[in-house]
Structure 1
């Protein structure tokens, strides 16, 4: 199977540094977005280490072997970031969320830690493949918060899992299938907090990948772009 891919990243209108990093290996069927955690020191270092580690994964042809290698790399980076944060003796966190997608044949694997998201558009229907590791998602899961209340919740930016935050990182993996014409989106929360799912579906339903990517970034900028915004679009052909 072949893929078309475009990616975009923008610092936004409020932040000085872009702490997001992208990893694109279309020839391997592997892509990832890492979002350095805002307010933490060296978030760009954390996301950069994640992207580099995934970029350098050894060549394997089985999708589950690839995910095992990616997970092992993230666990290693998790340890490195914790040690780096402790290096000067000051209490701090150097962390990043991550979401990745691997496709081999008709099989897909989505892997993530945090609230960066993966979506699939098929037949005009947008499905979120990942599930946020966040405080508000836990409240929704417990029935204490309605899904439509989550977006504007005052603690909507609190993540419960990320690389570099805890000694015991658990990377979540979801399996699925891929069909010709599927369009996948990986995105940092700088996009998904500003553009709701129904608008994502509408924008992704027409145009070239470059046009879609540019429209999504422009929407975020029009709405103030309070955070870095990064996305990867992958179409199966």
Structure 2
């Protein structure tokens, strides 16, 4: 199974530095988006360390082995970032991450934070990841309406990321891949401004390159308060 892949990143209209970092290894079936934590110094350093570690993964056979090696690499980066923050007397140097591995007709997503992965099959879009965030915890507990989550005053508070806690827990989810499936990885600079229905419509009515361009244009037209990064991988 082959893949058509495009990636885009933009600093947005309010930030001076792009703290997002992308990994595109289509030949290996591995992609990732890392979002350096806004408001923390050296977020760009943190996200770069995440994608660089994933870039250096050894060649392995089997999807499960690839994902296991990715998680081990992220846990190593987690310790590096904690040590770096202590050495620089900084509170936190961190990054979210969402990754996607595909091999032999199967996919696996791994993530920590609120960067997201989606799969479009036909005209049905499903969110594969579950945000590690305060508002998602409130939604899951039935204490907050999902429609109110994006505008909640604590919407920017995440509960898990690389470089935040001594122990990094990385969640995973997987399934099968069919020809025509499209996978979208994105930082919250996209998902806070573009709803799922609009994502589905844009992906289903355009090729990957045009869809990516349109999504970036939409975010910029809506003020782009944050960096925005997108990877679209389509099974062909």
For residue 61 of structure 1, report the CA deviation from its aligned partner: 2.0
For residue 209 of structure 1, report the CA deviation from its aligned partner: 1.2
CA-to-partner distance for each residue in 1:156-210, whole Å, 9 max, x for gaps?
1100000000001100011111100000000000000010111101111122211
Distance in structure 2 (CA, Å) of the matches to 1:28 and 1:35: 22
Q: Name the counterpart of 1:144.
A: 143
Q: Name the counterpart of 1:191.
A: 190
For residue 91 of structure 1, report the CA deviation from its aligned partner: 4.1
Please list, as runs of the form range in 1=range in 2, the aligned pairs for 1:20-99 lying within 5 A after superposition: 20-88=20-88, 90-99=89-98
| Structure 1 stretches of 4+ moved >4 Å | none
TM-score, normalising length: structure 1: 0.99
Aligned: 1:230 with 2:229: yes
Structure 1 unpaired stretches of 5+: none
Matched position secondary structure for 1:97: strand
Structure 2 unpaired stretches of 5+: none
Matched position secondary structure for 1:191: helix
Q: Name the counterpart of 1:9.
A: 9
Distance in structure 2 (CA, Å) of the matches to 1:133 and 1:61: 30
| CA-based RMSD | 0.6
Distance in structure 1 (CA, Å) of the matches to 2:221 and 2:49: 31
CA-to-partner distance for each residue in 1:64-119, whole Å, 9 max, x for gaps?
0000000000000000000000003x241000000000011221100000000000
For residue 218 of structure 1, report the CA deviation from its aligned partner: 0.1
CA-to-partner distance for each residue in 1:5-44, whole Å, 9 max, x for gaps?
0000000000000000000000000000000000001000
Q: Name the counterpart of 2:209.
A: 210
Q: Name the counterpart of 2:126.
A: 127
Aligned: 1:176 with 2:180: no
Distance in structure 2 (CA, Å) of the matches to 1:206 and 1:160: 35
TM-score, normalising length: structure 2: 0.99
State the aligned residue count: 236
